[in-house]
Chain A
Amino acid sequence: MARPSRTEAVTWLLFSAGGMAAALVVPVLLLLFGVLFPLGVLAPPAYEHLLGVLRNPLVRIGLFMLCALALAHWAHRFRHSLGDLLRVRALNTPIAVLCYGAAVAGSVWAALVLFQ
């Protein structure tokens, strides 16, 4: 067993925070925007209302935190799952670099979209 590293501790904390944020926030938003509005069960919000909500600085910051933490959660969990499923030790480092790199790139995209 390798000694638990500081990097592992930091990525685990981000994973944990992202898991909590995703569990609290994602189900209701996905239910509304992904399922109920497209199915016509509920009418989607009027454009002006949604624009007003999304222009609120607190909403922008909140959504950015949600995106960044959720992606960190994905990166950490996916990295370890892929390692468990592939079981090729030589691939562990490239997998980690790709996963955390994708999470950082996704967070930059989120910032560009939310603070445009």
Chain B
Amino acid sequence: MTANPSPARLYRPPVSRLWWLRRRSYLLFVLRELSCVFVAWFVVFLLLMVDAVYAGNDSYQRFLDWSGRPWVLVLNIVALAFVLLHAVTWFNLAPKAMVVRMGGRRVAPRFVGAAHYAAWALVTVVLAWIVLGGS
């Protein structure tokens, strides 16, 4: 690469605004990127829930009623699908992005991947146990 090419000399081939519909892999890429919107929605949903709980039992019950409304439920089911897409693509990419060395040797990528899935399972069980009251 040459240092600092002048902008006027750069050739930019025209790209359709609908480039992401051309191939399945492009579409999957865009859906994966879109998952971040639902991660942000979850933060909003979580904070509304926490706020309701701190405000008292009545507002907590109102939050539970609200979360059962069809549009909220549908939104959350769609959000769950996108968040799962995010988690799976993230953990599948992790062994490629992370080079872990132990005792001077590289840990096999599939162990790195397996460790991420194991951590995911552990976090899931622990959080469900805390939320459900250890019963």
Tell me which of A1, A30, A77, A84 has the highest count of chain B C-beta atoms within 10 A of its own C-beta.
A30
Picked from B39, B77, B124, the residue with its CB within 8 Å of the CB of A22 is B39
| A-facing residues in B42-67 (Cβ within 8 Å) | 42-47, 49-51, 53-54, 57, 60-61, 64, 67
**A46-B133, A74-B37, A81-B34 known; A113 vs B50 contact (CB < 8 Å):** yes
Chain A interface bracket (under 10, 10 to 19, 20 to 34, 35 or more): 35 or more
Interface size on B, residues (CB 8 A): 50
**Is A27 in contact with B80, judged by CB distance below 8 angstroms?**
yes
Across the interface, A23 reaches (CB within 8 A) one of B44, B120, B133, namely: B120
A91 at interface, CB cutoff 8 A: no
Chain B residues whose C-beta falls within 8 Å of the C-beta of A33 in the assembled complex = 45-46, 49, 67, 131
Residue of A with least CB distance to B80: A30
Is the pair B51, A78 in contact by a Cβ cutoff of 8 Å?
no
The answer to whether A34 and B45 touch (CB under 8 A), given A22-B83, A47-B60, is: yes
Bound complex: CA A46 to CA B135 (Å): 12
The minimal Cβ–Cβ distance linking B3 to chain A, given in whole angstroms, is 9
Instruction: Bits for A11-55, please: 1 = Cβ < 8 Å to B, else 0.
Output: 000000011101111111111111101110010111101110110
Do residues A25 and B123 form an inter-chain contact, with CB atoms below 8 A?
A: yes
Q: Are B53 and A51 in contact (CB under 8 A)?
A: yes
For the residues of B in contact with A, the DSSP-based class is helix
Specify which chain A residues have a CB less than 8 angstroms from the CB of B120 in the assembled complex.
Answer: 23-24, 27
A30 adjacent to B76 (CB under 8 Å):
yes
Min CB distance A103 to B, Å, is: 8
Within 8 A of B (CB), among A69-111: 70-71, 73-74, 77-78, 80-81, 84-87, 106, 109-110
Return the 6 tightest CB-CB contacts between A and B, nearest first.
Answer: A34-B76, A74-B40, A77-B36, A23-B87, A38-B68, A81-B33
Instruction: Report which B residues bind A (CB closer than 8 A).
Output: 1, 15, 17, 20, 30, 33-34, 36-37, 39-40, 42-47, 49-51, 53-54, 57, 60-61, 64, 67-68, 72-73, 76-77, 79-80, 83-84, 86-87, 90-91, 119-120, 123-124, 127-128, 130-133
Given A27-B84, A34-B80, 11 new contacts (CB under 8 A): A18-B39, A24-B119, A34-B72, A37-B64, A38-B73, A45-B131, A45-B133, A51-B54, A53-B131, A66-B46, A81-B34
6 contacts between A and B (CB under 8 A): A24-B119, A28-B127, A33-B45, A49-B133, A54-B50, A109-B47
